[in-house]
Amino acid sequence: MALTQGRLMRPAGAAAAVLLLLAAGCGGSTTVTQTVTVTHTHTVTTTTAGGSGTTATTSAPACAGGDLSGTFAVVPNSAGAGQISYELTLTNASQASCFVTGIPNVQLLDASGKPLPTHAAAAQPGTALAARVVLAPGDSAYAQARFSPDVPGVGEQQAGACEPKAARLRVSPSGAGSVEVPVQPPTPVCSQGSLRFDLLSGSP
């Protein structure tokens, strides 16, 4: 009887082993690998300081003299303490955008085109960084200059005009060449042509 019971128990033990293996198989884990691609979008917005607010790209070249026209004209009611202000206006007369920057590189000329003593410097050196002023066709940049028209400097004659009258101003921009603009009205510039210029900007 015991032998018979032992024989009967063996199949039950085998079945338990099978069930245990099946349970182990069902309880296993599966690893899934997923590849995710992330795309970053970087947007760059460029604005311009042109006189009319027109947007232009920073790829615009430096303005050449042949690209520009302009004037150097008295600022109304600016005279005081022996000084006066004139404003330089530079207009892009070309068909493409270009830029100007810094203080103007200038030379005073008399009515016959003869160079006169000229010393241009920043009105407030070191207080501001020069920015590119991108000019679309027809846009203008501006810079005021302060100087004395009638107070003689060291070595200048004390009676009469300190210097001959300047009738034109030659401006050499960052690009090649130069442009001559009228001085309105013509004026002496004392202290050997000392001019204190503001930085060029896109607004008067």
The CATH T-level fold of domain 65-197 is: Immunoglobulin-like (2.60.40)
78 in helix, strand or coil?
Answer: coil
Sign of CA dihedral 50, 56, 62, 64: negative
The position carrying tokens 């960052």 is 174
Model confidence pLDDT, tens digit, residues 120-150: 999 987 766 788 999 999 999 999 999 999 9
Of 9-13, 169-173, 185-189, the poorest mean pLDDT is in 9-13
Distance CA 49, CA 47 (A): 7
What confidence score (pLDDT) does residue 139 get? 97
Question: Which 3 state secondary structure label does DSSP give 6?
Answer: helix
Q: Is the pLDDT assigned to residue 157 strictly greater than 80?
A: yes
The pTM is what?
Answer: 0.71
pLDDT at 126: 73
Residue 169 DSSP symbol: E
Long-range pairs for 55-58: beta carbons < 8 A, 24 or more residues apart: 56/97, 56/134, 56/135, 56/136, 57/97, 57/134, 58/132, 58/134
> Do β-strands 179-187 and 68-74 pair in parallel, antiparallel, or remain unpaired?
parallel
Q: Which two tokens stand for residue 148?
A: 């004395």
